[in-house]
Amino acid sequence: MLVEVDKTSFNNASDIAAMKQNLMIYGATGFVGQELAAMAVRKGLKPVLAGRNEDMLKPLAEKLGLEFRAFDLNDAQIITENLSGVTVLLNCAGPFKYTWKPLVEACIAKSVHYLDITGEIPVFEGIASYDQEAKEKKVMLLPGAGFDVTPTDCLSMYLKEKLPKGTRLELGFFSDGPAGLPPGTNNTMIEQIPYGNRIRQNGKLIKPPKGIKTRLIDFGKGMQKSVRLTWGDVFTAYQSTGIPNIEVYASFPETVIKQLKMIEAIRPILSLPFVLNILRKRKTKGSTEAERQETLMHVWGELSDEKGNKVNARLHGPEGGVVWTSECALAIVNKIISGNSVPGYQTPAKAYGADLVMECEGVTREDI
């Protein structure tokens, strides 16, 4: 059953007609979903807001002057009915391991393009398995449309174009400012504890040797200690570039690195169901708008080949968890709505090239 706000809030019939080929944001009442919806309106879009909770959706939709549809993901027919008139669905309802499958299947059934802002490798793997079905229905499936993984994916492609025979890719990122992770990202990290760490080695996803690996990276302000972590590019950058060896690092304060070492040491205990349930109950507030304005994200990449040749580059942009994520996702939405889509499972850079990230406001790129 469709649940809508009164369309009299729109200016005229053309506004309503324009919505029929439109964006739907599922998970619109979440921390990132709300900010993304507001940015979409500022950029001239009129997304349909969607999610499970009508009581939360209605005031947000009224505030932004938008239509909303309240439905959960337990009934495939209800999902497809609510996709009526939608061109592209942007899933912001994480952890995505619980939401991607019913939405992807409904999108394929309804010929609606699917995006999300996941960074979960099992989700990328699952969605990639629907590649052929999506191609048959001329539907694009593009997970990782946010900060994870669009900027890093585009930087990977950029480096590959500069060194086509490169075989070892190392990526890193550093959040410089007071903004912390969105609550949904924290929740996803908890859900990923049992999955453990992964790197790409000789084209295969493997578990690295136990222990935390660190290295020094210059993000533009001198060398900073960074720690290896599991990031979506371990899966997606290989799909985009074919580079067989990939690792990703992030710069954190020493206190956080010590915490990560502890987590690695006791991962089997943290993976127990009752421990995960305790961790799930911990709530985080997320960043404020002022904190995000004071925060910059820096991305670094290095690609080397078997002869010892290396190329390096950096991206600099806005806060990553909310602002850069929203900029990336909406850049892809605009391409799809304008008719530019590639059927089947895609990565951001494979579908739209290395310069896609440069379409995001406030982003610069430099060769090192």
In CATH, what number is assigned to the domain containing residue 181? Answer: 3.30.360
The reply to whether 173 and 130 lie within a common domain is no
- Residue 162 shares a structural domain with residue 272: yes
Pair 162, 95 in one domain: no
Residue 302 maps to a domain: yes
**For residue 367, is it within any domain?**
no
Cα dist from 65 to 15, 34, 89, 315, whole Å: 11, 13, 19, 35
- Whether 359 is in a domain gets the answer no
- 113-116 and 140-142 strand pairing: parallel
Shared domain for 139 and 229, answered yes or no, is no
Q: Is 212 exposed, middle or buried (0-12, 13-18, 19+ CB in 10 A)?
A: middle
The SS3 of residue 314 is strand
Tell me what pLDDT residue 357 has: 98
Task: Check which CATH number belongs to the domain holding 37 and give it.
Answer: 3.40.50.720
Cα 22 from Cα 29, distance rounded (Å): 18
Question: Can you give the pLDDT at residue 126?
Answer: 98
Whether residues 158 and 127 share a domain: the answer is no
Q: Could you tell me if 119 and 159 lie in one domain? A: no
Q: Please indicate, yes or no, whether residues 64 and 196 belong to a single structural domain of this protein.
A: no
With a cut of 50, which residues of the chain have pLDDT below it? 1-20
Q: What are residue 297's phi and psi, to 5 degrees?
A: -115, 135
Total domains, the chain = 2
Model confidence over 70-121: pLDDT tens digits?
999 999 999 999 999 999 999 999 999 999 999 999 999 999 999 999 999 9
| Pair 165, 115 in one domain | no
Sign of CA dihedral 183, 184, 185, 188: positive
Are 204 and 313 in a shared domain?
A: yes
Give burial (CB, 10 Å; 0-12/13-18/19+) of 231: buried
* Domain containing residue 56: 7-145+323-351
Q: What is the pLDDT of residues 209-266, one digit of tens each?
A: 877 899 999 999 899 999 999 889 999 999 999 999 999 999 988 887 787 787 788 7
Domain match, 17 and 162 both: no
Q: Is residue 213 part of a domain?
A: yes
Question: Does 2 fall in a domain?
Answer: no
Q: How far apart are CA 182 and CA 146, in angstroms?
A: 13
pTM above 0.85, yes or no: yes
Same domain, 176 and 313: yes
Answer whether residue 358 is part of any domain: no
Within-domain flag for 110: yes
Residues 179 and 260 both lie in one domain = yes
Assigned domain for 363 exists: no
pLDDT of residue 306: 96
